[in-house]
């Protein structure tokens, strides 16, 4: 079955994809344990390195780029080192970053992980420091983003709304984009962690099983429960499909014509880290839909790509070459 998916890889190359959402800078500070502080019973670390990688919606962007898409990132950043590092991480993969607007009054959304280790100890995360503004987006920036997006829309083949709850995907922006997609037959997809109900009219919805349970307000103990909850969300949002990711149980795609596609996990051999695998899933699906691929086959391809992502530590991307190698087996 995998080899049957291989031709899709060429079809998705160069597709123009717009990703709007909460762009996150994942910052890793490496420290070597020096001594115990005399000020307090805490470790003193000598900083040995700093790495900034794309997280949140920016990880969806990066995955679209590494899989071969031509991707436009849209969101807000601050005037800080996190913004510079995030842009560099995206531009290394050829991402268009003109849509990352700088609001000097708010910080770039960042998650700083301090990693401590020594010559005789295993390095481990000792603290995470999150930074973001909880103020609503200023109307001036909402207007700027909308103008930029409108200038792009005629050449866009697929749109992702990546909502991590930080307020970038405002109701006004989301409804205008959803309306455009419906009017012009453009595939759209939303991945919203906390507020999926406000995306009525979206093309495709991506939820993991825990998010779906929260969305319908009940425990989903069986496959039948997941099917029922997915159908409920499908009808409420008047969507074309709902894709539910289920970890080691694979994925389920429910379509508006009543079809249910149960897709088993592609490879259980080495699951290291599921963080970011959902972003890989979304990136693969929107690329395939933009190329005119059948939704069920798009989901199957994303299942294989996600299987590669979970075998990597941390927020990760999957390349065209990696996916081609697995599909060729």
Domains of the chain and CATH, by start:
3-23+55-108+133-327 (3.40.1190.20)
DSSP E strands: which ranges in 197-285? Answer: 204-208, 241-245, 251-255, 260-263
Is residue 273 among the annotated active site residues? no
> Residues 80, 103, 279, 294: which is the catalytic one?
279
User: Which uninterrupted H or E stretch holds 178?
Assistant: helix 171-184
- Report the sign of the C-alpha dihedral through residues 33, 36, 37, 41, in that order: positive
CA gap 13, 219 in Å, rounded: 40
pLDDT values of the chain reduced to their tens digit, one per residue, 329 residues: 577 888 899 999 999 999 999 999 999 999 998 899 999 999 899 999 999 999 999 999 999 999 999 999 999 999 999 999 999 999 999 999 999 999 999 999 999 999 998 777 788 899 999 999 999 999 999 999 999 999 999 999 999 999 999 999 999 999 999 999 999 999 999 999 889 999 999 999 999 999 999 999 999 999 999 999 999 999 999 999 999 998 888 899 999 999 999 998 766 655 544 556 789 999 999 999 999 999 999 999 999 998 888 776 666 788 889 888 888 87
pTM of the model: 0.93
């Amino acid at each position: 079955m995998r080899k049957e998916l291989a031709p899709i890889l060429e079809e998705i190359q160069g597709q123009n994809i717009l990703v709007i959402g909460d762009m996150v800078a994942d910052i890793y500070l490496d420290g070597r344990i020096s001594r115990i502080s005399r000020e307090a019973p805490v470790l003193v670390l000598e900083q040995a390195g700093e790495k900034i990688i794309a997280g949140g919606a920016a990880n969806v962007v990066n995955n679209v780029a590494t899989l071969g898409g031509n991707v436009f990132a849209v969101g807000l950043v601050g005037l800080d080192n996190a913004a510079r590092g995030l842009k560099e991480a995206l531009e290394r993969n050829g991402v268009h970053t003109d849509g990352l607007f700088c609001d000097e009054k708010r910080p770039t959304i960042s998650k700083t992980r301090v990693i401590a280790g020594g010559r005789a100890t295993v390095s481990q995360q000792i603290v995470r420091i999150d930074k973001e503004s909880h103020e609503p987006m200023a109307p001036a920036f909402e207007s700027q983003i909308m103008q930029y997006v409108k200038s792009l829309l005629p050449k866009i083949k697929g749109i992702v709304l990546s909502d991590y709850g930080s307020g970038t995907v405002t109701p006004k922006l989301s409804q205008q984009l959803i309306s455009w997609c419906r009017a012009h037959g453009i595939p759209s997809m939303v991945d919203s962690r906390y507020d999926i109900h406000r995306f009525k009219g979206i093309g495709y919805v991506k939820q993991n099983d825990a998010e779906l349970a929260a969305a319908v307000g009940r425990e989903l103990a069986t496959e039948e429960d997941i099917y029922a909850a997915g159908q409920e969300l499908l009808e409420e949002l008047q969507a074309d499909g709902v894709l539910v990711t289920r970890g080691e149980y694979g994925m389920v795609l429910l379509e508006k014509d009543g079809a249910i596609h149960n897709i088993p996990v592609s490879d259980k051999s080495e699951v290291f880290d599921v963080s970011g695998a959902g972003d890989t899933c979304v990136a693969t699906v929107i690329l395939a839909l933009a190329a005119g691929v059948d939704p069920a086959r798009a989901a199957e391809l994303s299942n294989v790509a996600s299987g590669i992502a979970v075998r990597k530590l941390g927020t990760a991307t999957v390349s065209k070459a990696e996916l081609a190698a697995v599909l060729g087996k």
